[in-house]
Amino acid sequence: MDDSKITKAEYIISQLNVQSAKKLCFLVAFFFILYHSIIHWRYGNDSCKWLLQDLGRFKGDLRESTKGDLKWQPFGCMLHKYTHQDTRRCNKLIAFLGKENNFLFIGDSRLKNLYDSFINHFEQSKGTGENESTNNHAFEFEDFKLRLRVNYIAANDLKVMLNHFESLADAVDPPSVVIASSKFINLSPKDKSDNFTKELEKSFIKQISLLISPIDMLVRKQTKVLWKLQDPIDDNLNERLPEWKDITNSDIEHYNTLISDTLKYSNVQIWRSSTQIAYGLIDEMENGVKLGPVALNHDIQILLNIYCNDNMNYNDGTCCSTSENYTMLQIITYSVFLVCSILMIALKLKKIYAKLRGKTLYMPLQQQDTNQPVIIQENKLSTAIEALGMLGIIMSYFFLCDRTSFFMKENKYYSEFSFWVPVFWLSGFGLFFTEDSKFTRVLHRDQTDELKGFMIIVVLVYFMTGATVIPIYFLSKVFISTFLFLIGYQHFSYFWLTGNNSLVRYMNVMFKLNFMTIILCFAMNRPYQFYFFAPLVSFWFSITYITFSLPPFISAQTVENNSIHYLYLVIKFICLLSVITILYMSEVFFERIFLMRPWRALFVSTDDLMNEWWYRFKLDRYSTAYGMIFASMCIAAQKFNIFDDSNHGNLFSRRISLSSTLLAITGIVFYTIFTFFCKNKQDCEEIHSYVVFIPIISFIILRNISGVLRTRFSTFFSWFGKISLELFICMHHIWLAADRHGVLVLLPGFPTLNIILTSTIFVCISHEVHRITQILVSFAVTDNWKLALRNLIIFLIILVKIDQNF
């Protein structure tokens, strides 16, 4: 048997790698681009129509959830939850623009319930002496400061409704929004003949048809006209109002169908989603007929999203909201990417053509040729062009996902189940793929990659679900602090052991940390601080670099030559902690430092304030210093033989190991109890900054004290840890949506399968971005310090450009 031959199964297994996964994800993404093109062709691009359709769903179990906690998710877009303050702000803005906030409800008594709830929403938002409004609002409500007027017209007869619509059509100043709903008429009475029923239906359709002309005239005057279909009733409740006693939901559905089929030829927007919501909350109806408070609140939120979203531009309210305008910087950025992508395709075609003709595009190593340097230079240039071309395709996908309404978006939904199930499942999956490491040191490379991978997975689940529970909130904060702790630990150890604090090395690390972030700033029109993780790790790495670079220079070699350098190290730590504390204690001094040009653009947000950076700095101001101090303690402990991590054995003796383990468990339990008893986030965040090292070091002790645990690691988590930075940055636009306020939807109606699909594409793109960054770093940062300095100056010029753009 020929051993060189492999079976089909072995061949297939050999092809299951990252490159194959990326190609498959490219095809999947392309398929969903076609799929959503068909959806837009079928249902249109108007997200307001999606909001009014009955294609949405409730998030949560209708049987087990508290009704007030249920979230209704419209089809394809995100619904902002308008508080009373948000509603007032919307009306003030529209009034400031010189427009009237004029709402008209016209219909039966069921619509009157919605009108009353709508008024109560404004009444609750009224502070003492804040509004000037009419108190008697049985049929009219006014707020003069908001230029708000809400009216209700009782119209239990279609003829009465027709007269009012004709008057509105002739009015000089018609309402901004009209919500209409006709009184239910049983068009299929059981005690009547079929001929009578048909005549009744014809008469009803004729009366509805007469409304089309005045409604269309109103719409041409920029009035939104919504027709609210009749909500279902509770069929199982016997104690209903007399007029509804013999009515069934089948009768109501038939009635709604006749209205929809008749009015579909007009410009009125049929409001079907209210009916779907009523079906989901049918057991909370009053007397089996009137909508309960939760259903009414959902309806009010839909109305406010239709009316306000396009003016308020809330990130979590994409329904009825237009996409933001392009900037000149975005046009230039994507033009450059387009050129690179075209060149990449041309190079690919050139290679295919040469391969078909039997030519090679490489030079064998043993062959000597005077043109070899030129060939190598051309190959390097083509590699860079191909990397930039692929990045251009990736950025086009970014733009399509989060700067257009092409792909759908949904609101986040948190439950204990939705957070902990994926965390425990992925944790078990990660523990399944473990192997021995070739390293034995405390926090060796495999172990730190594993820790980063586990933390990024939990943080991603946290952002996906939008968890607001305080213990989970602080768990995510501990993980962010741990990332910064590892920045201090790893780079301190590197500087100490190698003594390499060159500008080239600094630029190399900074390029890897910031390349994708800067590209996203240009391509997605967002400030640098929006991607808060990259600014954090870049800043604290710079602080670590400056601490070591300032004289006197300290390393393992200098300490061996002169032990007084230990004292210098202590002094440097004291100075570092002092500077951090001074910046924290004086916010004015802090702002003067970080608002200086040219780095001002790095620390301000879209509104030209630095609140976000100030918050991040306060929260994790000591985390990197803790990591540096811990690294120095580990190095000292190794030097003075306090523990020995150069082999596969335990760090300490049995007695000390047991004591250390108990102490570490106590530290983790202490912080866990602290988060569970925390009542105020702001106060607890202040304490967090001082005690966050306790759970971090406690975990490190538990992870490293046993030689068996220290020398094994999870390859699954380690793989994710290597691309943790790219995962953290890319999640904002191609996994989450609407600037991480929502969730990207490729496959509507199947939330679990959708998460699997978007997660797979997201991970593959992050890995590709990591690969592209590794390729381009050699072009941007050379071994020549003069060229590195030149590139740094160019980078500062780019910062000035960002500052001008934002």
| Predicted confidence (pLDDT) per residue in 723-738, tens digit | 999 999 999 999 999 8
Partnered with residue 150 across adjacent β-strands are 103, 141
Please say whether the dihedral angle defined by the alpha carbons of residues 607, 610, 616 and 619, taken in this order, is positive or negative.
Answer: negative
Helices (H) and strands (E) in the chain, counts: 31, 13
Instruction: Indicate the angle between helix axes 681-691 and 470-498, nearest 10 degrees.
Output: 30
Q: Are 768 and 25 in contact (CB under 8 A)?
A: no
442-466 pLDDT, tens per residue?
999 999 999 999 999 999 999 999 9
Gap between the Cα atoms of 566 and 551, Å rounded: 14
Closest by Cα among 52, 51, 54 to 253: 54
Quote the tokens at residue 510. 């900074």
Q: Are 153 and 106 in contact (CB under 8 A)?
A: yes
Q: Are 612 and 653 in contact (CB under 8 A)?
A: no
pLDDT at site 129: 40
Greatest CA separation found in the chain? Answer: 109
pLDDT at site 130: 43
28-48 pLDDT, tens per residue?
999 999 999 998 888 778 888
3-state secondary structure of 107: strand
> CB neighbours (10 Å) of residue 1?
4
- Cα distances (Å, whole numbers) of residue 351 to 19, 356, 358, 374, 462: 19, 9, 10, 18, 45
User: How large a percentage of the chain has pLDDT more than 90?
Assistant: 58
pLDDT at site 358: 67
> CB neighbours (10 Å) of residue 511?
20
Residue 363: pLDDT over 60: no
Partnered with residue 736 across adjacent β-strands are 743
- Cα distances (Å, whole numbers) of residue 589 to 290, 442, 573, 620: 60, 39, 21, 18
The pTM (predicted TM-score) of the whole model is 0.90
Gap between the Cα atoms of 92 and 99, Å rounded: 10
- The single-letter code of the amino acid at 94 is I
Residue 68: pLDDT over 50: no
- The single-letter code of the amino acid at 749 is G
pLDDT at site 172: 86
Closest by Cα among 262, 269, 275, 239 to 110: 275
Gap between the Cα atoms of 238 and 233, Å rounded: 11
Quote the tokens at residue 266. 């007009």
Gap between the Cα atoms of 330 and 328, Å rounded: 5
Q: What is the DSSP letter of 407?
A: S
Concatenating the DSSP letter of every residue in 642-709 gives S---SSSS-SS-HHHHHHHHHHHHHHHHHHHHHHHS---HHHHHHHHHHHTHHHHHHHHHHHHSSHHH
Write out 470-508 in H/E/C secondary structure: HHHHHHHHHHHHHHHHHHHHHHHHHHHHHCCCCHHHHHH
Which of the two residues, 329 and 785, has the higher pLDDT score? 329
pLDDT at site 239: 66
List Cβ neighbours of 699 (8 Å cut-off, separation of 6 or more).
664, 668
755-779 pLDDT, tens per residue?
999 999 999 999 999 999 999 998 8
pLDDT at site 300: 95
pLDDT at site 4: 53
Strands 177-181 and 101-107: parallel
Share the mean pLDDT of the chain.
Answer: 87
Domains of the chain: 57-312 (3.40.50.1110), 407-805 (no CATH)
121-163 pLDDT, tens per residue?
887 645 434 444 444 446 889 888 889 999 999 988 888 999 9
Write out 350-365 in H/E/C secondary structure: HHHHHHHCCCCCCCCC
Burial 378-408 (b: 16+ CB within 10 A, else e): eeeebebbbbbbbbbbbbebbbbbbbebbbb
Q: Band of the pLDDT at 167, cuts 50, 70, 90?
A: very high
Gap between the Cα atoms of 481 and 459, Å rounded: 12
Instruction: Please give the average per-residue pLDDT across 208-225, as a whole number.
Output: 92
420-446 pLDDT, tens per residue?
999 999 999 999 999 999 999 999 999
Residue 487: pLDDT over 80: yes
Gap between the Cα atoms of 204 and 213, Å rounded: 16
233-278 pLDDT, tens per residue?
887 766 666 777 778 888 899 999 999 999 988 899 999 999 999 9
Ranking 13-17, 380-384, 707-711 by mean pLDDT, the lowest is: 13-17
* Helix %, strand %, coil % of the chain (to 5): 65, 5, 30
Quote the tokens at residue 151. 């009216």
Closest by Cα among 326, 339, 349 to 391: 339
624-646 pLDDT, tens per residue?
999 999 999 999 998 888 888 88
Calculated CA dihedral for residues 16, 21, 26, 27, nearest 10 degrees:
40
Burial 576-605 (b: 16+ CB within 10 A, else e): beeebeebbeeeeebbeebeeeebbbbbbb
Gap between the Cα atoms of 36 and 169, Å rounded: 38
Residue 397: pLDDT over 90: yes
Q: Are 792 and 799 in contact (CB under 8 A)?
A: no
